[in-house]
Structure 1
Amino acid sequence: MYLHLGAIPANHRLLEDGFTVLDDPLVGERITEMAERGFPYFTEYGLDFCKQFAFDERIRSILEAAFEKCSLGHWLRYEEFPGHIECFRRGGRKAGRLVLTVHLWAKGSQVAYYAGSHLHDMATSRGRRSLHEIPLSELSRVGSNPKHKEFPDGGLAILDARLGFEIKQGYAITFLFAVDEVIANWAKIVLPYSEALVGKVSEMGRESKKIGLNFTFEASPGSRGT
């Protein structure tokens, strides 16, 4: 299953460049609204936001084509960090494509994606926000050049988690989808217990037979927990 952007399928761009940008004029407005509410991720509003974008039909089609089975296992906001080129995973071709990242860009954001960097095993260091930082010298060594993207109205991108990127301005609400062998080593996303949230998660779980949710709930009122 392929989503065509111009003449080039999105999955082809994802394989070759390591990222693809999807047009979506709603993203910037919804992120502004989310920010005005104080980023209430783990609420009914927040889960509706998650469902709208993490399970967007275009993203879902790419995930289902890339993986036999995966789960949403990470959901955070990453702010600008100019001068620092980061990636979520390292290891190049040998590591394999096991995790895909979705960037939802706020209005006015700017990013540099280092095309093809996901295919190379490079020396990295552990960065300030627990991502792998890649020296520019390593990217130059493997011939990976930045492709600069600006999102005056916000936007959406999906990328291989091995890809190097530099958030020059603004921020991205970020989702990571990983295969089972990777998800098994990740902590679960803990949601407050309520019948409404349980219902929302159940609804989200029906969106795709191939995409799960690495969620769990706090103990319900009256339960003894474990």
Structure 2
Amino acid sequence: MKILFEGIVNTCFTILFMAPAPFCVDDARNSILEDGFYHLVDLEQPEQNVEMEPEGFALASEYGLDFCKLKVLDDMRVRSILQSFFDWSGLGLYLRYGRDPGHNFSFRRGGAKAGLRVLIVHMWSKGSRATYYCGSHLHSLPTIKAANGLFEIPSAGLRIAACQGKDIEFPNGGLVILDARLAFEIKQGSATTFAFTTKSELATWAKMTLPKSHGLAQKVAEMESTGIGVNFAFEE
């Protein structure tokens, strides 16, 4: 009986403290293709000591560019996902969106005909909550241009298309990679947002302007050294 009991305890201990499943780029790619997004549950922190401030920090600053490089561009999981979709990718958008409950947005529209041309990375602040609508990237949904520059999608359109929302909580922050056509809702917190696309697509996007300074120029060069392009321009 003692041996059996010890065996049960050891088994339970192993299950409770089992390491999370290793990251698999094929699983991530399939999830993005089918559901429209992939949630990196076990967000690994880089060794470099760069932490998100409690309140929004300036993105167009040396700290902001360091944050982008260390938290996203240097993350091999993010890089491997980008490489699985694009031969070359560049950062074309870097900004932050705050909570806006009751409103559903997407970065692109057009459904399946529009194709996958842009991937978005959401870096969520602690305590955030969001809903991602599975499969909505494959439907050409009705939209209106929103004040935040995104496309707002009426909830009725998502219901008609039978797109089920998946609620995700980020008590300690987290990271999600999504097809830019996917509908999402920010219920709580904020998402520092990065958009990656192909070279031909990026050439049509407006430049992200930065104040002219030696420090910022050095940070941009460090970002470019990762092999991922950036779409910055310096003010004259």
Shorter-normalised TM range: 0.7 to 0.9
CA displacement, residues 81-100 of structure 1 (integer Å, 9 cap, x when unaligned)? 10001000000110000011
Give the drift of 1:5. Answer: 4.2
Whole-Å separation in 1 of the counterparts to 2:69 and 2:24: 26
SS of 2:51's equivalent in the other structure is helix
Please say if residues 4 and 10 of structure 1, whose CA atoms lie closer than 8 Å, have aligned partners that are also in contact. no
| Alignment of 1:66 onto 2:85 | yes
Aligned to 1:51: 69
Give the TM-score taking structure 1 as reference length. 0.87
SS of 1:130's equivalent in the other structure is coil
Whole-Å separation in 2 of the counterparts to 1:203 and 1:134: 38
Whole-Å separation in 1 of the counterparts to 2:216 and 2:148: 29
Runs of 4+, deviation exceeding 3 Å? 3-8
Gaps of 5+ in 2: 1-20
Please say if residues 25 and 154 of structure 1, whose CA atoms lie closer than 8 Å, have aligned partners that are also in contact. no
> Structure 1 residues 186 and 7 mapped into 2: Cα distance closer, same or farther (>3 Å)?
closer
Give the drift of 1:185. Answer: 2.5
SS of 2:177's equivalent in the other structure is strand
1:127 to 139, 146, 150: 146
Aligned to 1:200: 219
Aligned to 2:233: 216
CA RMSD of aligned residues (A): 2.1
> Structure 1 residues 61 and 68 mapped into 2: Cα distance closer, same or farther (>3 Å)?
same
CA displacement, residues 54-109 of structure 1 (integer Å, 9 cap, x when unaligned)? 31211111111111222101111100010001000000110000011000001110
Give the TM-score taking structure 2 as reference length. 0.83
Please say if residues 72 and 214 of structure 1, whose CA atoms lie closer than 8 Å, have aligned partners that are also in contact. yes
Whole-Å separation in 1 of the counterparts to 2:169 and 2:51: 18
CA displacement, residues 145-194 of structure 1 (integer Å, 9 cap, x when unaligned)? 00000001111111000000000111100011122333223211111222
Whole-Å separation in 1 of the counterparts to 2:130 and 2:63: 27
Q: Quick one: which amino acid aligns to residue 39 of structure 1?
A: F
Please say if residues 142 and 153 of structure 2, whose CA atoms lie closer than 8 Å, have aligned partners that are also in contact. yes
Aligned to 1:189: 208
Please say if residues 32 and 106 of structure 1, whose CA atoms lie closer than 8 Å, have aligned partners that are also in contact. no
> Structure 1 residues 61 and 125 mapped into 2: Cα distance closer, same or farther (>3 Å)?
same
Please say if residues 25 and 80 of structure 2, whose CA atoms lie closer than 8 Å, have aligned partners that are also in contact. no
Q: Quick one: which amino acid aligns to residue 170 of structure 1?
A: G
2:129 to 85, 106, 110: 110
- Identity %, equivalent residues: 49
> Structure 1 residues 193 and 65 mapped into 2: Cα distance closer, same or farther (>3 Å)?
same
> Structure 1 residues 90 and 48 mapped into 2: Cα distance closer, same or farther (>3 Å)?
same
Gaps of 5+ in 1: 220-226
